[in-house]
């Protein structure tokens, strides 16, 4: 999760209990930190540039144009277009449990430059170009996006003569990762609804249907009717992760779901998810969930010996 560092509290002035705003401005971006210390509803907020909003602490309820209202909690972000009017509720904010949210406004030129760079490195399947991310895209941050946002908080607040350069590089990486996150999300949906629509969606569904099998890049590239090198490059370029890492991710998701079932043992869960080594499974599971599989079941009150 993202955390505000000590320098933020040293620089910020608490002038309002609702959406108190601390601003850090650089050439191509503006970092805003909003803090709310009391319950409130229908608070309006608007930016003149595209913005990434990411929750740090507490909960908001977001009302945006064109999509259903949703709860907004730590570890989640949403991309908004310029001049989008947000209507926000704060159902749980108090002085002891304030709501904190980061809002990173980008210049349109920086976004276009980054998308152009991504297309120079390779278009999508069938020559389809990358484009600006769909706005009002609500997603869960992965580890890389959390790390970039944490680094940006530090860079914006520090007194360094080159921080504009540092921020530009981080924002470029952030935009690319968000585009790939959105692309991955679309492929996951297509794999469920229409897996024969394209090669990557077909492979994703094949992985899910054969999760306990030996899923090599050689086999998957054959299923996609692509060379190994082209398949690997295309998969990673469009999903932001390698085929092998994606397989591990899917196996861990399945294992986590199975571990919620009190009738399924840890051994049954990891074998049914395609893992052959208990120690390897435990190491990967703990890295992702920060607890061991045994602790995961114990904490949920579902552990049975």
Residue 77 domain-assigned (yes or no): yes
* Same domain? 176 vs 205: no
Same domain, 23 and 152: yes
- pLDDT at position 124: 82
> 70 and 169: one domain?
yes
What pLDDT score was predicted for residue 103? 97
Number of structural domains the chain divides into: 2
At 259 the pLDDT is 92
Q: What angle do CA 210, 182, 244 make, to 5 degrees?
A: 35
Q: What is the pLDDT of residue 303?
A: 44
User: Which residue matches tokens 């054969």?
Assistant: 210
Which DSSP category does 85 fall into?
P
144 plus 212 within the same structural domain: no
CA atoms within a 13 Å half-sphere pointing along the CA-CB vector of 39:
2
Q: Are residues 126 and 238 in the same domain?
A: no
- CA-nearest of 132, 130, 114 to 172 is 114
**Does residue 51 sit in the same domain as residue 12?**
yes
Domain-embedded: residue 137: yes
What is the rounded distance in angstroms from the CA atom of residue 39 to the CA atom of residue 108? Answer: 34
CATH of the domain at 270: 1.10.10.60
Token pair for residue 74? Answer: 């730590």
Q: Is residue 74 part of a domain?
A: yes
- Does some domain include residue 1? no
Residue pLDDT tens, the chain, 305 long: 788 887 787 778 888 999 999 999 998 899 999 999 999 999 999 999 999 999 999 999 999 988 899 999 999 999 999 999 999 999 999 999 999 999 999 988 888 999 999 899 888 877 788 987 778 899 999 999 999 999 999 999 888 999 999 999 999 999 999 999 999 999 999 999 999 989 999 999 999 999 999 999 999 999 999 999 999 999 999 999 999 999 999 999 999 999 988 889 999 999 999 999 999 999 999 998 889 999 998 877 644 44
| Cα–Cα distance measured from residue 96 to residue 101, given in angstroms and rounded to the nearest whole number | 16
Residue after which a domain boundary falls, among 155, 183, 211: 183
**Residue 30: how many other CB atoms lie within 10 Å:** 19
CATH of the domain at 81: 2.60.120.280
CA–CA dist 258, 135 (Å, integer) = 34
Within a domain: 271: yes
- In this structure, the answer to whether residues 204 and 153 fall within a common structural domain is no
Residues 211 and 264 in one domain: yes
Q: 189 in a domain, yes or no?
A: no
Angle at 28 between CA 139 and CA 169, to 5 degrees: 70
Residue where a domain stops, chosen among 125, 149, 183:
183
Give me the domain span that covers residue 198. 194-305
| 112 within domain boundaries | yes
pLDDT at res. 72: 97
Under 8 Å between Cβ of 135 and 64:
no
The answer to whether residue 277 is domain-embedded is yes
Do 25 and 165 fall within a single domain? yes
Q: Identify which of 200, 55, 58 has the alpha carbon closest to the alpha carbon of residue 138.
A: 55
Q: Which among 125, 154, 183 is the end of a domain?
A: 183
Shared-domain flag, residues 16 and 135: yes
Q: Which residues contact 187 (CB under 8 A, 6 or more apart)?
A: 200, 201, 204, 238, 239
* 78 lies in the same domain as 176: yes
Judge if pTM exceeds 0.85: yes
Q: Quick one: 221 and 284 in the same domain?
A: yes
């Amino acid at each position: 999760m993202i955390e505000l560092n000590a320098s933020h509290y040293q620089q910020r002035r608490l002038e309002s209990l609702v959406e108190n705003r601390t601003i850090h401005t650089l050439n191509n971006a503006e970092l805003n930190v909003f803090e709310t210390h009391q319950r409130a509803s229908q608070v309006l907020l608007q930016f003149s540039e595209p913005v990434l909003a990411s929750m740090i602490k507490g909960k908001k309820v977001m009302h945006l144009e064109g999509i259903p209202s949703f709860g907004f909690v730590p570890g989640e972000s949403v991309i908004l277009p310029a001049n989008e009017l947000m209507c926000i509720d704060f159902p749980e904010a108090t002085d002891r449990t304030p709501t904190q949210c980061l809002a990173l406004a980008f210049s349109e030129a920086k976004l276009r430059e980054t998308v152009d760079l991504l297309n120079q490195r390779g278009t999508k399947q069938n020559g389809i170009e990358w484009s600006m991310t769909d706005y009002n895209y609500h997603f869960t941050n992965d580890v890389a996006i959390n790390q970039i946002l944490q680094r940006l908080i530090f860079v914006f607040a520090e007194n360094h003569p080159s921080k504009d350069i540092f921020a530009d590089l981080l924002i470029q990486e952030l935009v690319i990762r968000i585009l790939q996150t959105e692309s991955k999300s679309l492929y996951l949906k297509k794999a469920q609804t229409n897996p024969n629509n394209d090669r990557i969606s077909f492979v994703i569904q094949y992985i899910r249907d054969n999760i306990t099998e030996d899923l090599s890049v050689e086999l998957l590239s054959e299923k996609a009717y692509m060379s190994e090198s082209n398949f690997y490059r295309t998969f990673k370029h469009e999903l932001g992760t390698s085929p092998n890492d994606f397989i591990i991710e899917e196996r861990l998701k399945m294992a986590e779901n199975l571990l919620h079932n009190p009738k399924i043992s840890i051994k049954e869960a990891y074998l049914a998810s395609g893992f052959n080594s208990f120690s390897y499974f435990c190491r990967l599971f703990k890295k992702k969930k920060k607890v061991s599989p045994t602790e995961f079941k114990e904490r949920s009150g579902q552990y049975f010996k």
